[in-house]
Structures are given as C-alpha cells and as structure tokens.
Amino acid sequence: MHFQSVTFDLDGTLLDTIADLAEACRLMLEEIGAPPRTHAEVHSFVGKGMAVLVERCLTHEHPPSAERLHEAIESFKRHYAVVNGRFTQIYPGVIDGLKAWRASGLKMGVVTNKPGMFTEALLERMGMTSYFDVIVSGDTTAHKKPHPEPILHACRLFDVRPDRNLHIGDSKNDIQAAHAAGCPAFAVPYGYNEGEPVDSAECDALVSSLLVAYQQALTFKDLKHK
C-alpha cells in the first residue's frame, strides 16, 4: 500500500454526535436565556470547533459580544461534559473499517476540532480508544482544521511523511487541511460539512464507508489535486 498511516476526523466521520451537540446547545441556550435552535440548525453549525458552534448558535442579526460568547461557551462546556456520548452512534461500517485498517499494520490516528477534554472521554465511552496510536484534538495545536497543522502534527508523531498519510473526513475543512498538509483526502458523504453536500471533485475519493476507503486505498496511485 502507498500509505503508512491514516488519520480520521471524529464528528461526522467515525461518530454521529449531533444529538449530543444539539442537546448541549439546547441546555446552553436555555440557561443563558437565548432563543432556541433547531436540530437542523445545529447540524449546519458543526465543523469548525466548539467555539464556532456556540457563536453560530448565538448569532442572529449580529454576532454576540465577547462577554456573551464567553458565558455561552462555559455553559456549553458544562452541559456537553454531561451528555458527551450519551446519544452518540457509531456510523455503519466504521468498526469493520477500523479493524481492516488495524490489520493492515498502518499507524492510525484521530484528528478532530473537538477539544481534548471531550475527545478522549468520547472515544473511551464508545470503546474506540484502542484503535488509535495518536489523538490530535482541537486544542492540541495552535490551529484547527482547515489549517494543516493538526494533520502535520499527527504525521510528525507517526514519523511519516505527509504524502504517505491518508486523511479521511466528512467536510471541506478536512479536505482543505489534508491537501494543505500534502496528504491525500478521502471523504465520506454521510457527515455534517456545515450543512452542505461534500463535493466529490474536491477530494481524492468519495467513499461510502471506512471499509470502502480501505479497499480504495489499496489501489491508490495519484492525488487528484496535484
């Protein structure tokens, strides 16, 4: 195989976490006396990390003040810590896919914009921690995806050249981060992507599941974006 390692996005790729996020947003908005958001709105707000999710929940005609945003973020943290993993579902094909990748001997990691205090607790609760050699969260590096630094950081920890790492995600943020890092990017169509369909022209392969991603990786030759 061309690849020596593989990194996975978390929310929208490995795990369907939207019900937990929506519940934490509901409780946060109720606590601070802000208008509620629908499940569909929260779904479209996910993608650039916790702070952006909270800010989008509060933004109507104008963005919130810094003080209001800080209050809301602290409220969200408290509520999400309680509900994190409570309603989360593992996407179909994920466990079979992870087992196939693990059997191949490749190094495996998670690269997510979710804060570390929630990432590791969620993976542990879902019984998935043992699959991964490296976990890079939204506060591990100075930048979040779509910046390339989180993926480059994972590659350094793997001691693998970026072009030998495959990144798999569900959004344009994943694709942009991977390509900026020099990694091929596969995308799954079932995730969040800030409420928009994934554009198959932007990624190196659009795959229906992690198991299909593994099968495609076996014959991967070139990067579409080069």
Show the tokens assigned to 224: 């579409």
User: Does the annotation count 9 as an active-site position?
Assistant: yes
Cβ-count burial of 222 within 10 angstroms (0-12 exposed, 13-18 middle, 19+ buried)?
exposed
Q: Count CA within 13 A, CB hemisphere, residue 52.
A: 14
CB 8 within 8 A of CB 14: yes
CA–CA distance, 171 with 90 (Å, rounded to integer): 18
- How far, in whole angstroms, is CA 23 from its chain's centroid? 18
Whole-number Cα distances in Å, 197 to 17, 189, 194 = 18, 7, 9
Number of alpha helices (DSSP H) and beta strands (DSSP E) in the chain: 9, 8
CA–CA distance, 171 with 189 (Å, rounded to integer): 9
Q: Which of the following is catalytic: 9, 11, 170, 174?
A: 9
Show the tokens assigned to 92: 């179909």
Q: Nearest to residue 121, comparing CAs of 85, 153, 154?
A: 85
Helix axes 50-58, 66-83, angle to 10 degrees: 120
- Which residues are annotated as catalytic? 9
